[in-house]
């Protein structure tokens, strides 16, 4: 298996894979800070990776999208053993679910998403590709999140709300109304900028 990105998120992904008995052969990083991470060698030249499985272990949504479009590989998922993923939920290729996250039935999560530590995604939610639901954030029932959106730490999106694509929701926000594409919600009570 190959990981793309050798920063902080890589450490979380690598630990999940190791806990699940998966073998990671190498990590590619354009600007590595280490020669290895938890015993796995880090390389700078990505060359033309072929075959095998991969996960893009980069926290930045746009960067994950760039790598996914650049390399047509078999992207796999990683779910921490302490996470709860309903058997009636769908998890897209390349997505990662960290420790303590809870994903309820009838949830659809897109490709290359990060469902971070302690995040809660309730029933009937749809999460687009390249989304990051930060630690302890909550999506109430029947929420829709568009591609590339980042839900900040501890933010809460109320039931039935639609958040557009490439939106940034500030930490601690309570999203009470639909949010258009590309909006930036800075105030914790989600007044649009």
14-33 pLDDT, tens digit each:
999 999 999 999 999 988 88
pLDDT value of residue 187: 65
pLDDT value of residue 34: 87
Domain 78-185 has CATH 2.160.10.10: yes
Architecture of 2-75 per CATH?
3-Layer(aba) Sandwich (3.40)
Coil, strand, or helix at residue 8? helix
pLDDT value of residue 109: 99
Active-site positions? Answer: 123
What global pTM score does this model have? Answer: 0.94
pLDDT value of residue 193: 53
pLDDT < 70 stretches in the chain: 45-48, 50-51, 187-193
- Closest by Cα among 103, 171, 185, 181 to 137: 171
Calpha distance 132→59 (Å, rounded): 8
Q: Is the dihedral of CA 10, 156, 107, 82 positive or negative?
A: positive
Radius of gyration for the chain, computed over Cα atoms and rounded to the nearest angstrom: 16
Do the beta carbons of residue 103 and residue 118 sit within 8 Å?
no
Instruction: Show the tokens assigned to 150.
Output: 């980042």
- Closest by Cα among 128, 129, 135 to 64: 129
- Closest by Cα among 117, 100, 122 to 109: 122
Calpha distance 24→190 (Å, rounded): 40
Domain boundaries, the chain: 2-75, 78-185
- Closest by Cα among 2, 109, 7 to 49: 2
pLDDT value of residue 136: 99
pLDDT value of residue 188: 56
pLDDT value of residue 30: 87
Q: Is the dihedral of CA 167, 10, 92, 141 positive or negative?
A: negative
Query: Dmax over Cα atoms in the chain, in whole Å?
Result: 46
Calpha distance 147→14 (Å, rounded): 25
């Amino acid at each position: 298996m190959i990981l793309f990105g050798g920063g902080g998120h890589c450490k979380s992904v690598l630990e999940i894979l190791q806990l699940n008995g998966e073998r990671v052969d190498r990590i590619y990083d354009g600007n590595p800070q280490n020669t290895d991470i938890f015993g796995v060698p880090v390389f700078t030249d990505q060359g033309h990776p072929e075959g095998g499985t991969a996960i893009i272990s980069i926290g930045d949504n746009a960067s994950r999208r760039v790598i996914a479009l650049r390399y047509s590989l078999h992207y796999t998922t990683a779910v921490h053993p302490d996470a709860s993923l309903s058997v009636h939920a769908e998890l897209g290729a390349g997505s990662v679910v960290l420790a303590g996250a809870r994903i309820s039935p009838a949830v659809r999560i897109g490709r290359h998403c990060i469902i971070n530590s302690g995040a809660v995604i309730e029933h009937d939610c749809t999460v687009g590709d390249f989304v990051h639901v930060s630690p302890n954030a909550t999506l109430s029932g029947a929420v829709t999140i568009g591609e590339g959106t980042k839900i900040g730490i501890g933010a809460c999106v109320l039931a039935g709300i639609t958040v557009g694509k490439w939106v940034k929701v500030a930490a601690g926000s309570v999203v009470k109304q639909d949010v258009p594409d590309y909006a930036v919600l800075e105030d914790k009570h989600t007044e649009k900028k």
